[in-house]
A and B are shown apart, each in its own frame.
Chain A
Amino acid sequence: MSRGDVEKQRKAPKPQPSATEDRWPEVSRRFPALQRSVNAHRLVYLDTAATAQKPDGVIAAQQEYYRSFNANVHRGIHTLAEEATAAYEHCRARAAQLVAAPSPSSLVITRNATASLNMVARGLEHTLHEGDEVLLTEMEHHANLVPWIMLAQRTGIVLRHIPITDDGKLDLSKLDELLTARTRIVSLMHVSNVLGTINPVAEVAEAAHARGATVVVDAAQSVGHLPVDMVELGVDALAYSAHKCYGPMGLGFLAAKPELLDLMEPMEGGGEMINEVFLDRATWAEPPLKFEAGTPNVASAAAFPAAVDMLEEIGLEAVRRHEEELAGYALERLSSLPGLVIYGPTDPAERGGLVSFHDPEVHPHDMATLLDQAGVAVRAGHHCAQPLHRRLGVVATTRASLGVYSSKSDVDALYEGIRFARRYFNP
């Protein structure tokens, strides 16, 4: 396939999504890795929250970059460099569109969501003073905890946390007290990678803005799973990773309001991010390039639009309905297993497509090993949320997470796998 063909494909009329469920098997056939078997079983991939599998379109687009227009971006004046730059900037535009960022230039291309969150924390360091407050939540991923802890160590800012209720939702009853005159930044996750909870980001953002705070959302688990709109969420900055929404590895994004990007200091210096360099001083380029020092992951950027195309073609509303239905089915099946503790909201409408649980009889590590024997891939551990697990009173949980390719039979395989694990340990 030549680059021209890729362009044509990109512009080809999209097949209209049908209202029936039948399309999902076809969708899952686009993912080559899902066609393999594991331990002589059909692979049942329930670890999308760690990283999503990649559809053929993404894999082909990444190959196509290396095969026909590999070049560095923003530098060369030759055809390949121009094509590579165009592909890179096309990625920026599509990544911005996917989350309704104000414009492509409001979108910084990073390595991953973690890098994006660090970029905000470091970028705003110069605006913070000892005693200023940053409000987070008890359910955050380490990626939205540690950068702020590091910031607190350097600046003496105070970290506060919105607690969670026993059913795994944010307890907003104390939000008014937690937001103080010194709250400068509020940063929270959109969808919890452990509880599955969909947080009321817009509500928190409104309250935070009323106090003049900047609002950051970690959308690593929501983008690609439900419609995400920065304007509706009312946030100033939004971080996500391409690899969790069917895109390639090594690529992430920070979408932010232009004023915020202007205010932020760049964290890394080097090529690409400058205007003028002298031996003893330099001036920065305008955002977003100000934040993009060095050669970026052009191959991944060239591939990511194919993931966005797929999501648009299926429709994010449809993806959300699919995952909500499956999450509901998973909750129903798993709660029929006596003694199994399931975390997070009980209403599937309030949660994303993942379910974490704890089996008092089988430790998560053993559970994951036993499930893997049945071809079922889940994640066991603290899922980079140790404070949350401490709050839940366990060191580790087992998590099954869903994607566009997931099906009821995957959930059935999980259910049977857990029963097998229990029998294996307590025959």
Chain B
Amino acid sequence: MSMDALDQLYREVILDHHRHPRGRHDIDRVDVEASGLNPSCGDEVTLQLQVEGDRITDVAVIGRGCAVSTASGSILAELVKGHTIEDARRIAEIFKRMMHGEDPPAETDLGDLEALTGVRQFPVRIKCALLPWVTLLDAAVARAEGRTGKTITTE
């Protein structure tokens, strides 16, 4: 590994999301909430979603972790707002597979998420990138079951 790998991990986009994370605001109404924990470091993130019909109209991300998980949460807030829960779930699944080495389907627009592919060269950091997204998956299940999410982990 080298400075190159490092610059691939911490691309400008990632550092920007880290420095100015999106979704750091209170939302009017919390319809679904879920928390995720990375047991290996103790980092925790809570997602709050405002949902109208099946569409996510606002996202709040609470809790701060490392640059990778903060940026990933920030991108999540930007990306899933305005999408249906089903779409958000699909993006989360694609991102998970992408982190484990698969290429995303050609037609999907993953926005700044593409910038997180550099994390793949740092296997121990993949969990950091996934934390907000596995939390989102739990939020989707919670919504379907009409409950608040439980704290899930990246393990």
Contact = CB atoms under 8 A, between A and B. Distances in A.
Given A363-B67, A364-B66, A365-B68, A382 B42 contact: yes
B41 A380 contact: yes
Given A395-B43, A396-B41, A424-B10, A366 B2 contact: no
A91 interface: no
A424 B65 CA distance: 17
Contact of A40 (B2, B9, B10, B70): B2
Interface string A402-427: 00000000000000000000001100
Nearest to B67: A366
Contacts of A372: 1
Contacts of B10: 366, 424
B155 to A, nearest CB: 14
A364 B2 CA distance: 20
A330 B16 CA distance: 32
Contacts of A382: 41-42
B68 A366 contact: yes
Given A365-B41, A395-B43, A39 B2 contact: yes
B100 interface: no
A363 B66 contact: yes
A370 B41 contact: no
A365 B125 contact: yes
A370 B66 contact: no
User: Which secondary structure dominates chain A's binding surface?
Assistant: helix
Interface string B6-35: 100110000100000000000000000000
B125 A369 contact: yes
A180 interface: no
Contacts of A70: none
Contacts of A380: 41
A366 B64 CA distance: 13
Contacts of B64: 363
Interface residues of B, number: 22
A381 B41 CA distance: 4
Give the interface centre of B40, B44, B66 by most chain A CB atoms within 10 Å. B66
B153 to A, nearest CB: 13
A364 B67 CA distance: 10
A256 B43 CA distance: 38
A382 B70 CA distance: 18
B2 A365 contact: no
B67 A395 contact: no
A364 B1 contact: no
A425 B125 CA distance: 17
A361 to B, nearest CB: 11
B139 to A, nearest CB: 21
B116 interface: no
B128 A395 contact: no
A363 B72 CA distance: 15
A425 B66 CA distance: 12
Interface string B127-152: 01000000000000000000000000
Interface string A307-333: 000000000000000000000000000
Interface string A347-380: 0000000000000000111100110110000001
A365 B42 contact: no
B122 A369 contact: yes
A365 B128 contact: yes
Contact of B43 (A39, A40, A373, A396): A396
B106 interface: no
Contacts of A389: 42
A39 B65 contact: no
B122 A364 contact: no
Contact of A425 (B2, B5, B15): B15
A373 B3 contact: yes
Contact of A363 (B3, B40, B44, B65): B65
Contacts of B43: 365, 395-396
A389 B2 CA distance: 32
B65 A365 contact: yes
A155 interface: no
Give the interface centre of B1, B2, B42 by most chain A CB atoms within 10 Å. B42
Nearest to B10: A424
A380 B43 CA distance: 11
Interface in B60-76: 64-68, 70
B111 to A, nearest CB: 22
B42 A386 contact: yes
Contacts of A366: 10, 66-68
Contacts of B5: 373
Contacts of A424: 6, 10
Contact of A369 (B2, B9, B65): B9
Interface string B106-129: 000000000000000010010010
A396 B42 contact: yes
20 contacts: A39-B1, A363-B70, A364-B41, A365-B41, A365-B65, A365-B66, A365-B67, A365-B125, A370-B6, A373-B1, A373-B3, A373-B5, A380-B41, A382-B42, A389-B42, A395-B41, A396-B41, A396-B43, A425-B15, A425-B67
Given A364-B41, A381-B40, A395-B42, 5 more contacts: A363-B70, A369-B125, A373-B2, A373-B3, A382-B41
4 cross-chain pairs, A with B, having the tightest CB-CB distances, nearest first: A365-B66, A395-B42, A363-B66, A381-B41
